[in-house]
Amino acid sequence: MQGKVILVTGGAKRVGAAICRRLHTAGASIALHYRTSEREAFALQDELNTLRPDSAAAFSADLLDIASLPRLVENVHAHFGRIDALVNNASSFYATPLAEVDETQWHDLLGTNLRAPLFLAQAAAHELQHCHGCIINIADIHAERPMQGHLLYSVAKAGLVALTRALAQEMAPCVRVNAVAPGVILWPESSEWEDEIQRRKIVAHTLLKREGTPEDIAKTVEFLIADAPYITGQVISVDGGRSINI
């Protein structure tokens, strides 16, 4: 990881922040993307730079604005001089039952979870090829088994899994592309997930009978970047066994 520059989208909070901290601890410099979480992004930037000066920088971009994605990549490269890895972590998540689906939801959920990773990969391709780098997409176990009432999110993550495999073909042999599919890691920040009984039922379907942590995802991302030179086109489920026991 020493000397590597890694762009993490949605890196200011939650799993994204855990990924940033883990990769930074391993020696990487972090380009921390955010959209609305400016306060958290600059707090994390300052935290990382206190530990190692000039090793982190925050970059703002709206991932739904395709025209802004090449600028994001250009700004990261201008600041650090290179890009060794792209972690597509940013994601919108909320319920979309079939009867309520509309075009705005389609634009948002498919835009953040599928379209942005594609066009960011396109924008960063030259730099990643030059550095023999890699892409890590944060997918979801519900890409394979859709979540009831979350139609568009499930479709978007299924597309992201397909994109992972297609990009692995397109960008070989210089760039590896893999995905991590989390299970029960952090509960969504919405009132519909506050029911403790509902949470316990979901956790009961994990083979390990417990929730995971953001650090579990961060460790897997670090492995795929630093210690997996012969792995590409794969999706690693980090879910306590839930995906085989739903």
> Using an 8 Å Cβ cutoff, are 53 and 26 in contact?
no
Tell me if residue 153 is catalytic.
Answer: yes
The answer for 198, left when phi > 0, alpha when psi is -120 to 50, beta otherwise, is: alpha
Contacts 24+ apart (CB under 8 A), 201-209: 202/242, 205/242, 205/245, 205/246, 206/239, 206/240, 206/241, 206/242, 206/245, 207/240, 207/241, 207/242, 207/244, 207/245, 208/240, 208/241, 209/240
What does the alpha-carbon distance between residue 7 and residue 29 come to, in Å, rounded to a whole number?
Answer: 9
Please give the DSSP secondary-structure letter assigned to residue 235: E
Kindly list the distances between the CA atom of residue 147 and the CA atoms of 39, 51, 208, in Å, as whole numbers in the listed order.
Answer: 32, 40, 20
Spot the catalytic one: 34, 94, 153, 230.
153
In this structure, the dihedral spanned by the alpha carbons of residues 30, 32, 33 and 39, taken in order and rounded to 10 degrees, is -170
In this structure, the dihedral spanned by the alpha carbons of residues 223, 37, 122 and 2, taken in order and rounded to 10 degrees, is -40
Please give the DSSP secondary-structure letter assigned to residue 193: G
> Using an 8 Å Cβ cutoff, are 91 and 113 in contact?
yes
- Residues annotated as catalytic (active site), given as ranges: 153
